[in-house]
Structure 1
Amino acid sequence: MEKKKLSERDICTKYITPAILEAGWQQTQFREEVKLTDGRVMVRGKLAARIKNPDAKGGPKRADYVLYARPNVPIAIIEAKQNKFPVGQGMQQALSYAEMLDVPFSISSNGDGFLIHDRTGLTDPTERELSLEEFPRLDQLWPLYLQWKGLTTEDSIKLIEQPYYSDGTGMAPRYYQRVAINRTIEAIANGQDRILLVMATGTGKTYTAFQIIWRLWKAKKKKRILFLADRNILVDQTMQQDFSPFGEVMHKITNRQVKKNYEIYLCLYQAVTGKEEWKKIYRQFPEDFFDLVVIDECHRGSADEDSAWHEVLDYFKSATHLGLTATPRETKDVSNSRYFGDPIYTYSLKQGIQDGFLAPYKVIRIVSDKDAAGYTPEKGKVDKTGSEIPQREYNTKDFDRNMVLEKRTRFVARKVWEYLSQIDPYAKTIIFCEDQEHAERMRQELVKLIPEAASNRKYVMRITGDDTEGKAQLSYFIDNDEKFPVIATTSKLLTTGVDAKTCKLIVLDQNIFSMTEFKQILGRGTRLREDYNKLYFTIMDFKGATRLFADPDFDGEPVVIYEPKEDDPIVPPEDLATDETKDLGEPEPSPYDLERLEKEDDEPRQGRSKYYVDDVEVNDGVVQTRYLDADGKLITEDLRDYSRRKLKEEFGSLKDFLKRWNETDRKQKILQELEDQGIPIDLIKEAVPKSDDFDVFDLVAHIAFDQKPLTRQERADKVKKRNYFGKYGDQARAVLESLLDKYADHGIADIEDPKILELPPFDQYGTKTQIRRGIFGGPEKFTQALSELEQVLYQDESA
């Protein structure tokens, strides 16, 4: 058979594998078709599905070959391509995978030979071509690897060769967990004594820590290990799940009792220290008793030099300190890097979502009229207890902290139930409130609204540090065999440590001033449970936290940001495309011992009065804009009037606007011009009810020039009725019809984006280049077809 007609798999079987074996590699030292990622979850309305096509953007990533110097030490990546391509065709892909796996050697082959890239910088040139007979041997690569990693002693080499724990089921660390584990082992082998790992919530920090400890313990590098956490639930969960293989050598420090005949110790900070001297039982251990101290959730104060917890780390200063956190950013409250140094590895929420290991999320922002404009009581007004209220403006930061508008609580509860009743009344939900008293008021309002909650006391539960009955329901809330509780109202108790994998809705009615706390709350929803149809989650934000703490570099962007206006549905419009609703299952049972629960910031606030007002109406926010006029005076103006005035300043007349719109090749230019003139598209949308249904063309024409708007779907339907696609071939027609559907769903900017052709459903027609050249005859002809489609979309109805 002609070599250039062979498939990629044939090239691997007939040429690459024999070359690897001829170079002395054993079958056990390389694997083929190694899955690296699962493929991103795409969300369209209520429907969500994983991208399974490896050739599609966001699809699962698989390396053709991974070569291992030791069972747990990958050393090289090989990407194979058909022989019709040059030998280096797969190099960029190989380099990408090599970076993901933290390996130094990237190799590309088409069956004629190899192109090898050496990231160590120890060979010259960095890239060179080799014949099939010159494939590198392990004894040529291994010394370069060790030098690259700085591993020069026999003990350090022996340490990194120590295998992972295996339970025989085939479960193995994911690629990023391997990198985190290996880098930590290498850092310890090189004598580093303070180490920081940053891994987003839901990515398996504790499992990663277990594998690190296991290898160090088995290699006898670290003989006694202390695992510190700040919540009892975290310690118990760790012992019962990830750390269970340690068995009888593992011990939890409780009841202020010190036992010195174990090797793996777990405890709360609070169990070994405190303000009183008698509580500092850690001093009963010799200072050099522990070789390794692992600090879970280390952002929660362990690295703060003023914290009592810091005393524990300072006392065991001869041990290696390994910090685990999901909070990467330095703030005045978080000082991870000041204590540990820069992280040796970071795996972000954004990357986890892109890889398909974590759930993407939507954001629904809701503003009441009192949050939008504030509330100022009239002079002499008393609250429901008879206390006179100080006259000043109360705003979002005050509500439920020192000013309780009871009808605002009812407003929030109504919006939450409105959403759940349309999406899934049994979707697990956590509502974060200002304090325990607020959580109780929220529970009461929900019970009044939800029919089943009136007869089933467990439908809505307050789970806070001061409520024994509520705390008893926590394990049921996260148990996959338990349908109830459905909704948990809380303040601080559920911000961390609660592994509610099927939580679908997180409600923020709490002022959040800490990036750390925000990320921990966000983490309650990031777990993916595909087997229970938990593929994404929603954040419903009543206090603007999602604006204040956006960290796109680490957290990525929501798949949807929806800001309903007065009389708008609470559910984003695309979510109403189907009435399919599926009951959700729950994660594996976790019978936690809740003997102690964190009370920090969960105690009733002392020294501050709360005023309770029950006669002030709270409704959807009045849509207004505020700006400074030429004299520097703050002006509040109806948003529609403001938008009309600004648009007329920009376009003059309807005729001028139509001319500009039709003559502009890319409508995105006009959107950018509006943005530059202080009229962003989001502002225009806010001025029109249900604006998400309309194209920006119709919004501008309607607001500025009183033209009747057409929805995007109506414009798309008119194009279809004109039989515009009849002049194209089958494939070209299919592509244009799909573009029209994309326009109807998302608008003109999306179909003008060149990347649109890389997404479903266009990937079924080939690559972007194949579509433009193969189906339309070249980029210019595709651009012309798209331009003609736009002309028909915006064709004058009188024409």
Structure 2
Amino acid sequence: MAETVNQNPEQIARDKIDKMLSDAGWEIQSKDKINLSASKGVAVREYQTDAGFADYVLFVDRIPVGVIEAKKEDEGHRLTVVEEQSKDYAQAQLKYLKNDPLPFVYESTGTITRFRDFRDPKPRGRNVFSFHKPETIAEWIRKGNSLRDRLTKLPSLNPEGLRPAQIVAINNLEQSFKNNRPKALIQMATGAGKTFTAATFVYRLLKYADAKRILFLVDTRNLGEQAEQEFMTYQPDDDNRKFTELYNVQRLTSGYIASDSQVCISTIQRLYSILKGEELEESAEESNPNESTWMEQQMNKKQPVPVEYTPRVPIEQFDFIVIDEAHRSIYNLWKQVLDYFDAFLIGLTATPDKRTFGFFNENVVSQYTYEESVTDGVNVPYEVYNIETEISSKGGVIESGWFVDRRDKLTRAKRWQQEDEDTEYKRNDLDKKVVNPSQIRNIIKEYKKVLRTTIFPDRFDEQGNYEVPKTLVFAKTDSHADDIIKIIREEFNEGDDFCKKVTYKIDEDPKSVLNRFRNSYHPRIAVTVDMIATGTDVKPLEVLLFMRDVKSINYFEQMKGRGTRTIDSEKLREVSATARSKTHFVIVDAIGATKSKKTDSRPLERKPSAPMKDLLGAVTVGVADEDLFLSLANRLIRLEKQITEKEQEKILEFSGGKNLKQITKELITAFDPDAIENGAQELIKNIPEAERTPAQYEEAKKEAQEKLALEAAKTFNGQLNDYLENVRKEHEQIIDHINIDTVTKSEWEKTSVDQAKKTIQKFTQYLEANKDEIKALSIFYNQPYQRRDITFKMIQDVMEKLRMDKPTLAPDNVWNAYAALEEVKGKAPQDELTALVSLIRRACGIDKELKPFDKTIDENFKNWIFKQNAGKHNRFTSEQMDWLRMIKEHVVSSYHIELDDLDYTPFDSQGGRGKMYQLFGNEMNEIIDELNEVLAA
């Protein structure tokens, strides 16, 4: 234990600075014992300059490179005041040397350290965690100009292959770099290509700014693997090689960072463990660290175990850190990881909150919302379909005397029991305390029914079999997911491959199941708890079925984001053969998730007693708080009285041989005054009693307490925590087979009147604006007589231009808007082009009400036949009528018929134009012209 009690504040600061320099690889020498060859980096104390004695002068390879101005610790707030003083030393002549001004300047108290590189275009001081290594400074000098100088010389971005929002993001980000802004935030809607954007600017930083190494930081292993795939497939616009053929990309799976890696991909949990010199539990990377639980409150109150300088991972290890899903896990404990590195920070997120904006100094270089992405056709819009059941909304009662199953949550073993009292359960108890299979079954049955009749009624193949669109179900727990899967397989009458669970707790490789869900025909339905709730790309998804509620706005938006992805129509048909194209996705809300009250972030636990999961998590990551330790000990004392012998054996296995009594004792002892006193006496026993000072005794007590707390905390780990949490939960669920549920609501969520009006207004304005440019629109508006000449190709042109300019005005969306405002005769035609003609006719005023154009043609045909037969009895023979009906059906699908069409299907198989001439003689051409005009009227 270092004796610093009698030292003055200046000497304490110098001692700390000396240790920091030594840790970073510098040899410290006094001015009268200089040996510049002793080490690559030498820091000489009190070196004389013509401006006075510099506290430290730094030499690398015997060449002076920088100075350090040391100040007392209590002057940390004044470091900016002494910048001129340290600059004077840097520009001064050193004794015996004819040196140029020294480029690298530090001011430090040993606790706060600031750094400037005078090679920068506009040198600006910044806080750094420690000093840079001599090898780093040697490399900087070898490169000549500084990183910030090189950033000002980035070439113009080639926009080819990039979306407009990506171009804006990269250009603005690079301008932020040129302005030496340390942090920047890119807000980009889920599905808009955040990782592709990152790969583009990372490539440019490596190639044009000569960045040494860039970190891509995520908070789950799943996101890390996805980022790695993005870099592997990325091909720059100015090279025919892939990114990974040009630069080394390393995804960290251990504490080893390769010296030749230029892009590192890591979870923030792994990087924290590397800086702490600890092994990382494999399960720690499975889900993002929950930044908004009781644990966060504790970390706000108590200083978490701090990160210390790690020589093998110096502060200059990365030049840039890209933080994916930056709204989630960069605060409190985890923030230390980012504070440690001397790097530019770039945040990527679709859903920032107030903390995110604050963390990135409100430097938002790009804001691209989901609404904007839908307008641009980058993402697809969504519709909401609500399913509600009696028990989902009101719960139920299990009356005394009923015989019910009780199921063990862990083993799922059942036992039969007669209930001796009434058990009332609320909607929030479902799938926790009580499982009602009828409630799950009714939701699934209704979903199966409305898929075919209402949601996607056009998915029947030629044999009449229905193809279920790719569906993701959000479940509350793994147990809930298992119940849902069993019922889905039964109700859809399908095998195991049809519906799979995708969580980290499945026997199959979850990545393999997810890959099949994304790229293969089966599974059609995946059920997850939260593994693919955020950040995972499954483009063919067309339905999200919510069977769990979500209280966080951000988390809900991320979950919705799973369905927003666009996909090429051919790629979609590879996994969903009956789909035409992905114009939208559907949220099926069976729990009220779209209507429940949401908060800015995941709600803080406000109960007097915090969840044990949070207590365990806080102790595991090093929060050493007396209330925390005693609360957890109290819970474990209660638990110890309830557990079985078999469960006790499992605890011994996961804890390294400690039973609950031992674990509890260590937690209590960590703050026991007698134990701390004994520990302190042991630490100072070698100091003669007469020489001991009160400060030494207090320091010894603090160190003893910390050792006891560390010993208690070391027992806890991911496996033990999970097991304790599961054992703690009520062991059994009641299976309510008696209360049969019924569907009380099954309907589309009504489009708001205002929204519908806006959609119709935008559609009408678009048609008006383009009526002179697009031939079909010109005819509809200005030349009614020529409507008979409108061809399939003309309508296709309108559709293609509409898709390109205004994808949100897809026929389905506009049809729904009209349906919300007026009585619509019939459903939207399955064929989009037919629906588009109906909408154009309504918007132009040709039709006073919206009705399917195929039905209009049917009516016009019937009226024409009626007129032809007026005063005559059956003007046309039955064979002639068959031909006229064929012509009518052709006009339904192609809007117009030409004489040449008679040489093709279906007419050619009936004898073609020769047969029609034989039937109608010289009237043939007149009838074709007349039908073109009459049917399009």
- TM value normalised by structure 2: 0.43
Larger radius of gyration: 2
Q: Work out which structure has the larger RCO, using CA pairs closer than 8 Å and 6 or more positions apart in sequence.
A: 1
Between structures 1 and 2, the one with greater helix share: 2
- TM value normalised by structure 1: 0.50
